[in-house]
Amino acid sequence: MAEYYNYIKSLHLIFVVTWFAGLFYMPRLFIYHIEARDKPDAAREVLSSQFRIMEKRLWYIITWPSAILCTLFALGLLVAMPSWLSQPWMHVKLGFIALLFIYHLKTHQMFLKFQRETFTYTSQYMRIWNEGATLILFAVVFLAILKSSFQWLYGLGGLVVLAVLLMLGIRLYKKVRGR
């Protein structure tokens, strides 16, 4: 298995990228779908129909398959490097991966609602929701790269600072857009 490590790692990273691409773009589509409700009837119908198609294709053709393949190749990496499972950085990383799956499954619930044209979220809420994947991505990448040299306190502080900056960015966007 060790001779295939770099191939497995490469495929894992490719599917991490495509999975996150889906997780980043899906809430964007939800925002556009929500905002299409404010359009005149004819435009609203056309836009809603198109957004449902786009959401469905993104979710089932890119996001779900990428999540599954990413997970399978991650398991392959753990088989190739079983010692990682005894290291604290991996425990923390797996905790963030668990959060990522929760985020993914919650986004799936949202997707199903949007497919039924059931709108229970505002575009502002979806802009904030969209940043959840960003925070998880930062945490996972830093843990994967820095491993045991990761300073937990600085890492947590950096994640909090990033979250604050993202929220400030959303507020600034809302102000600028409101003009």
Question: What pLDDT score was predicted for residue 142?
Answer: 83
* Per-range mean pLDDT, top range of 108-117, 122-131, 136-145, 156-165: 108-117
- Is 12 known to sit in a ligand binding site? yes
Task: Name the average pLDDT for the chain.
Answer: 90
- Nearest C-alpha neighbor of 18 from the set 83, 70, 57, 60: 70
pLDDT bin (cut points 50, 70, 90) of residue 75 is: very high
Contacts 24+ apart (CB under 8 A), 117-126: 117/48, 117/52, 119/33, 119/34, 119/37, 121/30, 121/34, 122/34, 123/31, 123/34, 123/35, 124/170, 124/174, 126/27, 126/30, 126/31, 126/34
pLDDT tens digits, one per residue of 83-110: 999 998 899 899 999 999 999 999 999 9
Question: With pLDDT > 70 as the criterion, what percentage of the chain qualifies?
Answer: 92
Mean pLDDT of 142-161: 72
- Is 91 known to sit in a ligand binding site? no
pTM score, two decimals? 0.86
